[in-house]
């Protein structure tokens, strides 16, 4: 398979058939594990304020303590490429299932440990250092989980269902974010601020850790992918370092995968994670309404992922990406123009924008098809994790600078720019597919 495979709707030797009960079980267990793992990963940031009080000296300025907590949160993103590259290497050499189970185990352990961690008043500066270490382990885990999940389900289902399979995983990840925000909201509603500081902040980590081990147990019932088993039987596994083969033979696929990951990152970080804060600080939307809109948008995003996955299987990933990127561009402007005008339709338009972010459900299909099976895990994981760490880390401060320099519509301009990149990738893929058809 060459780099032109990115434009091809075919994928592997899995025989054509509809999704059966085993496929649905694989999708369900994989999505559940992914949701739990992303819940564990993001719940940290929802407790940034309590953690800043508990894990640093009491005389630390509030802004500095919060900045340090966000720095620890960011360390998880920076650790993602390490986990992704290492787990992908062994996933291509030893099997997808082993790494798929290891990733959720590596998330469950530090999440539970954070819930049990002594605070600064008990062990001094060792507390934030241990918190940083556990956060790095979480980053390593999620760096292997997301690409591994996409490869795992894509290699289980028939070729005509890869789009929906990958999108269902992406939808599950967004459900994990939504569940995390709802759990934190419930804790803050039921407990006083003093109770949250005393013990309430530990509850979501303890619950997440326990359910993480439950996900490990559930994944015991999953089987190795038919594609990997076939490669193993035919002795077609990658020799040497799979990542080296990716660099030597598939750099165009790496570049395209990183470009669409940039669009994915902008859509998620700006439209889903940053917009509630921007709505309050820039457009003066009341906090309750801002987070209501975010919850509705996150739910719409989960539905949007499933829709675009279905569309991918109907018209192909390139055309689905083209349709979705255009929708993302338009909806981002509609939302921010409304906010600029006072936000009269904020919740409804935020739901529409969240649904448009569902185009991110097309991205994993494109990346899965970009690499041949022998190096698929390594190629996808490297491209996705490096791009996500780079753009995910730079986007928040960049948006802040752009708002000050270009005004309140800057977030929409940024998302629209990355949507244009997605449109360009889709156009290139369509053109390449047509050229391949003519040559055939």
- Residue whose structure tokens are 């991110």: 360
Give exposure, 376-390, as e/b (b: 16+ Cβ within 10 Å): bbbbbbbbbbbbbbb
Mark whether 193 and 249 lie in a shared domain: no
Tell me if 44 sits within 8 A of 192, measured CB to CB.
Answer: no
Instruction: Identify whether residues 269 and 204 lie together within a single domain.
Output: no
* Residues 184 and 282 placed together within one structural domain of the fold: no
- Do 424 and 360 lie in one domain? The reply is yes
Which single residue is written with the structure tokens 């340090």? 68
- What is the pLDDT, as a whole number, of residue 78? 80
* Same domain? 287 vs 144: no
pLDDT at 80: 83
Q: Which of residues 187, 209, 237 is at a domain's end?
A: 237
Cβ distance 103 to 148 under 8 Å? yes
Domain identity same for 221 and 330: no
Kindly report, residue by residue over 65-107, the tens digit of the pLDDT.
767 776 777 777 788 888 888 888 888 888 888 887 888 888 8
Same domain (yes/no): 408, 358: yes
Asked whether residue 380 is assigned to any structural domain, the reply reads yes
Report yes or no on 184 lying in a domain: yes
Q: Look up the pTM and report it.
A: 0.83
Low-confidence ranges of the chain (pLDDT < 70): 1-20, 63, 66, 70, 435-440
C-alpha 274 chain-centroid distance = 15
375, part of any domain: yes
**Residue 421 is part of a domain; what is its CATH number?**
1.20.1250.20
308 and 292 belong to one structural domain: yes
Output the pLDDT for position 8.
41
In a domain, 2, yes or no: no
Retrieve residue 402's tokens. 């752009």
Counted residue by residue, the chain has a size of 440
Task: Looking at the structure, tell me whether residues 110 and 157 fall in a common domain.
Answer: yes
pLDDT of residue 13: 43
Neighbours of 49 (CB within 10 A): 16
Residue 255 domain flag: yes
Query: Looking at residue 288, what is its pLDDT?
Result: 78
The pLDDT value recorded for residue 399 is 86
Looking at 213, 237, 261, the residue that finishes a domain is 237
Tell me the per-residue pLDDT of 198-227, one tens digit each, with 9 for 90 and over: 999 999 999 888 988 888 888 777 777 778
189 and 276, same domain (yes or no):
no
User: Domain check: are 181 and 321 in the same one?
Assistant: no
Give the gyration radius of the chain's Cα atoms. Answer: 21
Tell me, yes or no, whether 182 and 50 share the same domain.
yes
Half-sphere exposure of 372 (CA within 13 A, CB side): 16
- Whether residue 117 is contained in a domain is answered as yes
Whether residue 86 lies inside any domain: the answer is yes
Q: Which of 209, 237, 265 is the last residue of a domain?
A: 237
- Give me the number of domains the chain comprises: 2
Structural domain includes residue 153:
yes
Q: How far apart are CA 116 and CA 206, in angstroms?
A: 8
Dist CA 131 CA 117 (whole Å): 8
Residue 427's domain spans which residues?
244-440
* Per-residue pLDDT at 438: 65
**Helix (H) / strand (E) containing 140:** helix 126-154
């Amino acid at each position: 398979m060459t780099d032109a495979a990115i434009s091809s709707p075919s994928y592997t030797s899995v025989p054509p058939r509809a999704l059966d009960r085993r496929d649905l079980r694989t999708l369900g267990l994989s999505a559940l594990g992914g949701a739990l793992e992303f819940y564990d990963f993001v719940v940290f940031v929802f407790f940034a304020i309590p953690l800043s009080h508990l894990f640093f000296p009491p005389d630390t300025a509030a802004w500095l303590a919060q900045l340090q907590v966000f720095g620890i949160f960011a360390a998880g993103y920076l650790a993602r490429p390490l986990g992704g590259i290492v787990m992908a290497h062994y996933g291509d050499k030893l099997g997808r299932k082993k790494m798929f189970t290891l990733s959720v185990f590596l998330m469950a352990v530090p999440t539970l440990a954070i819930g049990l961690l002594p605070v600064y008043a008990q062990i001094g500066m060792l507390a934030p250092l241990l918190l940083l270490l556990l956060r790095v382990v979480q980053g390593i885990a999620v760096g292997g989980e997301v690409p591994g999940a996409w490869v795992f389900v894509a290699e289980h289902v028939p070729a005509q269902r890869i789009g929906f399979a990958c999108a269902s995983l992406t939808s599950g990840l967004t459900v994990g974010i939504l569940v995390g925000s709802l759990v934190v909201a419930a804790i803050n509603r039921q407990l006083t601020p003093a109770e949250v500081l005393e013990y309430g902040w530990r509850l979501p980590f303890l619950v997440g850790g326990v359910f993480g081990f439950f996900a490990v147990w559930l994944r015991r019932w999953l089987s190795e992918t038919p594609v990997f088993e076939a490669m193993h039987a035919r002795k077609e596994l990658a020799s040497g370092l799979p990542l080296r083969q990716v660099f030597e033979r598939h750099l165009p696929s790496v570049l395209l995968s990183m470009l669409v990951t940039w669009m994915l990152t902008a859509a998620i970080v700006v439209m889903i994670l940053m917009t509630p804060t921007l709505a309050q600080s820039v457009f003066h939307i009341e906090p309750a309404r801002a987070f209501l809109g975010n919850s509705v948008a996150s739910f719409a995003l989960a539905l949007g992922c499933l829709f675009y996955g279905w569309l991918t299987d109907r018209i192909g990933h390139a055309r689905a990406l083209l349709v979705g990127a255009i929708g993302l561009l338009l909806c981002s402007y509609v939302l921010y123009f409304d906010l600029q005008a006072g936000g009269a339709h904020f919740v409804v338009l935020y739901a529409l924008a969240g649904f448009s972010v569902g185009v991110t459900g097309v991205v994993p299909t494109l990346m899965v098809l970009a690499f041949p099976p022998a190096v698929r895990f390594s190629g996808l994981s490297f491209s996705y994790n490096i791009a996500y760490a780079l753009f995910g880390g730079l986007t928040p401060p960049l948006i802040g600078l752009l708002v000050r320099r270009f005004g309140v519509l800057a977030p929409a301009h940024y998302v629209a720019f990355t949507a244009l990149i997605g449109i360009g990738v889709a156009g290139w893929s369509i053109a390449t597919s047509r050229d391949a058809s003519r040559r055939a």
